[in-house]
Amino acid sequence: MLGFISDLHLDPNENKRTEAFLNFLSNDCIKYEALFILGDLFEYWVGDDDNSSLAVQVKKSLKKYSNQGNKIYFIHGNRDFLIGPKFAKDSSIQIIKDQYIMTYSGKTIMLSHGDVFCTDDHEYQDLKSRIRSKKWIDDFLSQPLNERIAIAEDMRSKSKDASSNKPENIMDTNKDSIDHCIKHNNLDLLIHGHTHRPEIKKFSNGSMKVVLGSWEDEGWVFEYDHDHFDLKSFSI
């Protein structure tokens, strides 16, 4: 069985979610052959030199889970795209590219954070293009850690303000973008997060889309096995 989660948005000021995730790793995850984290594990990540208690706790727990023989795969989200090779090594995770295609139980599955499909939000896509550039990343990472944290906090605040002024449909995935992706890649299953709108949607051609939930008032995991699937929520 495989487990898929996203959008935990772990934050130093929100211990409840962190405790829920650490408990999830120690208990619920034992049954999974592999755990896939599809982005936004952290509320923000400013570089692998972050040695905060939250970062240390999470890396230690991920490594412990991995050392038990479990595989962990990670896709960058819009909040933690700066997670790099040092974090991956320290936590024993494998970073995979967005829109990663795999085969499991004879099914073709694509994994994505999901923001790539939000094509109606032009402002967001423009910002994403800018801050994912090598120049922006190099300039950002060259600054002292405390300044990077201040910038991240400011960007988070501005993002919340911008989102509150946008129509809900603009921040959702674009239907045509999803349909094209599924047909073009002959997908049986597309799994993504980002939108915080958990659902399982079945299409007329037999394919399926799963949207993972955000760990706010409750946790979410999608479990997929050869003859079983379930999008589950649980209290945190």
For residue 142, the model assigns a pLDDT of 98
pTM over 0.85: yes
CATH number of residue 26's parent domain: 3.60.21.10
Angle between helices 15-26 and 53-67 (to 10 degrees): 10
Three-class DSSP category at 211: strand
Q: How far apart are CA 207 and CA 200, in angstroms?
A: 11
Question: What is the number of structural domains in the chain?
Answer: 1
For residue 163, the model assigns a pLDDT of 77
In the 8-state DSSP scheme, what is residue 43? S
For residue 226, the model assigns a pLDDT of 85
Residue 97 domain boundaries? 2-235
Neighbour-count burial for 173-183, b at 16+ CB within 10 Å, e otherwise = bbeeebeebbe
Per-residue model confidence as pLDDT tens for the chain (236 residues): 999 999 999 999 889 999 999 999 999 999 999 999 999 999 999 999 999 999 999 999 999 999 999 999 999 999 999 999 999 999 999 999 999 999 999 999 999 999 999 999 999 999 999 999 999 999 999 999 999 999 999 998 888 887 777 787 888 999 999 999 999 999 999 999 999 999 999 999 999 999 999 999 899 999 999 878 999 999 98
Q: In what order do the strands lie in the sheet with 208-211?
A: 100-104, 107-112, 189-192, 208-211, 199-202
Q: How far apart are CA 80 and CA 231, in angstroms?
A: 24
Q: How far apart are CA 110 and CA 188, in angstroms?
A: 8
For residue 214, the model assigns a pLDDT of 97
